[in-house]
Structure formats: structure tokens, C-alpha cells
């Protein structure tokens, strides 16, 4: 999936709008009053959120247009079910729903294929196992089956494993009438938690709200590791100005993230 693709499903992603929190709140109030145009504005104003989410699935070999469309379905579900009274940021609520929609899509469109040769070995192994069981009145060993088939023990094991019904990471294990809980939801991943990922998205959104000079100062200070004096000399202002702009930018980002 290309990270640099500008147009997705006919949408120029480089020109997508970004809604401020107060703007979204007003739009949700209008939507609750029956203003359907507010829904369309909310969708268009949060398409960047969908783009951020689908980057997580860029190694699946799926078409970015398909994932974008599926992500938009999750976004619209989030908009239709969002409750302002819960005092939760919309992105915090929407990201898991978008992820869930994409996971369901991948689950339903990603069958595991077994080669013809493995299937042939597996079915012959099952037949030999039944025959030997009847002859010996016990379960034959893998070695005995491999000897009968004249293939290696490893090939027998691989073949039999290949035709077993796998337990999908998207297998539902609990359902209470709402969205089901899948096997994947019960697997811990300290390096790739949804909570950490949501925070990263919120941080990127907060950075995008800064002006160009503020972003440049934070980038040089915290990504390039430069001192305030070095930044001041590089961009031609005083250290005091750098310090003041840096603090103001951080305060602004903190207000957005909270």
C-alpha cells in the first residue's frame, strides 16, 4: 500500500480539511437536532483520521482504496453513535471503531490457501492412519505413517497441520449484542497497543494545528536534539523568542490532546 498516494477513491487527500474540537462539537449538536448536512461535514472533516488508521495495515497487500472505503464506513458508524455527554474526544472513540471495521473486512476477505501437494499428502496420511489403526488397534505414530507413504515425518506433520481449521485472530469469542470480542482483542502487544497508537495520532493532529515556525522549532528541539541557542542561531531569532514559542506550542498541543 503506497504511503505517498495523494488521490484515494477520487479524494485529494492533500486538501482534506481538519476540524477543530469546538467546530466538531457544534456540528454534533446540529446533527443531534436533525441537520444531515452536519454529518457530511463531520465525515469530510475526519477523513484524515481514516488515513492515519489505514497506515497501520499497509503491509497486508490490500488496495489502499478498499481500506479507505472500509475505514470510512467505520468513521460514519462512529459519527452516528458518538455521545457528546460522555466527555470523550471523538478521535479516541472513532479510531477503535475504524480499526474494527477494517479488521472485519480483512477477516472476511483473507482466506488461508493450502497447496495442492500438501492437501494430497494430508488426505493420504489420513487414509493410512485409519488403515493402520484398524490393523494395529491403536493410533499409529507419525513415523509409521511416513514409512507407509514413503515421505518424511516433517512433510506429514506439515500436511496434517495445513488442513486443520485454523483459529483466526478475528474469531469471535464473545458477543453481548454489540460488537463482538475477537481472539486478537485478547492478545497483548506491548509494542503496538491501540492506546499508544491513538495517542500518536492525537499528537500528529496537535502538531498539524501549529504554524510552520512552531512545528520547525519543536522538530529541531525534540527530533534533532538541538539546544534553544542552536535553533535561535539557525532561524535568526533570539533564544528568548525560541523559548517563548516553544512553550506556547507545547501548551497549545497539550490543550488539544487532553
CA atoms within 13 Å, Cβ hemisphere of 187: 10
Query: Nine-digit cell at 186?
Result: 485478547
Question: pLDDT > 90: what percent of the chain?
Answer: 8
Q: Name residues whose C-beta falls within 8 Å of residue 184's C-beta, 6 or more positions apart in sequence.
A: 103, 169, 170
The pLDDT of residue 75 is 92
Rounded to two decimals, what is the model's pTM? 0.45
pLDDT per position as a tens digit, 105-155? 876 665 555 567 777 888 888 899 989 988 888 888 988 999 999 988 888
pLDDT at 71 over 80: yes
The pLDDT of residue 240 is 86
d(CA 186, CA 178): 17
Average pLDDT value over all residues in the chain:
79
The pLDDT of residue 2 is 44
Instruction: Grade residue 30 by pLDDT with cuts at 50, 70 and 90.
Output: very high
CA 199 to the chain's CA centroid: 13
Domains (range + CATH), the chain? 7-111 (1.20.120.1810), 116-162 (1.10.10.10), 210-257 (1.10.10)
Query: In this structure, are strands 7-8 and 172-174 parallel, antiparallel, or unpaired?
Result: unpaired
pLDDT per position as a tens digit, 168-212? 555 665 555 556 666 555 555 555 555 566 666 777 777 778 888
Mean pLDDT on 49-74: 82
Mean pLDDT on 41-69: 83
Q: Name residues whose C-beta falls within 8 Å of residue 116's C-beta, 6 or more positions apart in sequence.
A: none
The pLDDT of residue 212 is 87
d(CA 207, CA 150): 64
Q: Which of 21, 156, 135, 171 has the alpha carbon at shortest distance from 84?
A: 21
d(CA 161, CA 234): 62
Q: Which of 95, 102, 26 has the alpha carbon at shortest distance from 62?
A: 102
pLDDT at 15 over 50: yes
CA 174 to the chain's CA centroid: 21
Backbone torsions φ then ψ of 99, nearest 5 degrees: -60, -45
d(CA 213, CA 206): 14
The pLDDT of residue 185 is 59
Residue with cell 490543550: 255
The pLDDT of residue 1 is 44
Instruction: Grade residue 12 by pLDDT with cuts at 50, 70 and 90.
Output: low
Amino acid at each position: 500500500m503506497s504511503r505517498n498516494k495523494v488521490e484515494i477513491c477520487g479524494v485529494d487527500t492533500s486538501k482534506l480539511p481538519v476540524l477543530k474540537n469546538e467546530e466538531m462539537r457544534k456540528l454534533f449538536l446540529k446533527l443531534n437536532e436533525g441537520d444531515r448536512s452536519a454529518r457530511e461535514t463531520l465525515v469530510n472533516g475526519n477523513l484524515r483520521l481514516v488515513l492515519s488508521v489505514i497506515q497501520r495495515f499497509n503491509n497486508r497487500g490490500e488496495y489502499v482504496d478498499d481500506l479507505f472505503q472500509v475505514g470510512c464506513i467505520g468513521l460514519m458508524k462512529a459519527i452516528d453513535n458518538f455521545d457528546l455527554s460522555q466527555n470523550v474526544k471523538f478521535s479516541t472513540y472513532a479510531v477503535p471503531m475504524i480499526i474494527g471495521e477494517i479488521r472485519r473486512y480483512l477477516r472476511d476477505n483473507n482466506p488461508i490457501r493450502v497447496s495442492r501437494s500438501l492437501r494430497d499428502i494430508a488426505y493420504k496420511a489420513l487414509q493410512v492412519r485409519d488403515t493402520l489403526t484398524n490393523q494395529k488397534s491403536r493410533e499409529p505414530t507419525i513415523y509409521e505413517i511416513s514409512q507407509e507413504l514413503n515421505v518424511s515425518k516433517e512433510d506429514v506433520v506439515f500436511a496434517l497441520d495445513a488442513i486443520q481449521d485454523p483459529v483466526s485472530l478475528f474469531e469471535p469469542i464473545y458477543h453481548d449484542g454489540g460488537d463482538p470480542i475477537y481472539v486478537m482483542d485478547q492478545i497483548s502487544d506491548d509494542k503496538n497497543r491501540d492506546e499508544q497508537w491513538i495517542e500518536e495520532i492525537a499528537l500528529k493532529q496537535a502538531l498539524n494545528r501549529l504554524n510552520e515556525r512552531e512545528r520547525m522549532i519543536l522538530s529541531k528541539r525534540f527530533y534533532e536534539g538541538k539546544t534553544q541557542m542552536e535553533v535561535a542561531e539557525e532561524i535568526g531569532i533570539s533564544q528568548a523568542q525560541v523559548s517563548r514559542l516553544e512553550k506556547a506550542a507545547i501548551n497549545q498541543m497539550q490543550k488539544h490532546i487532553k
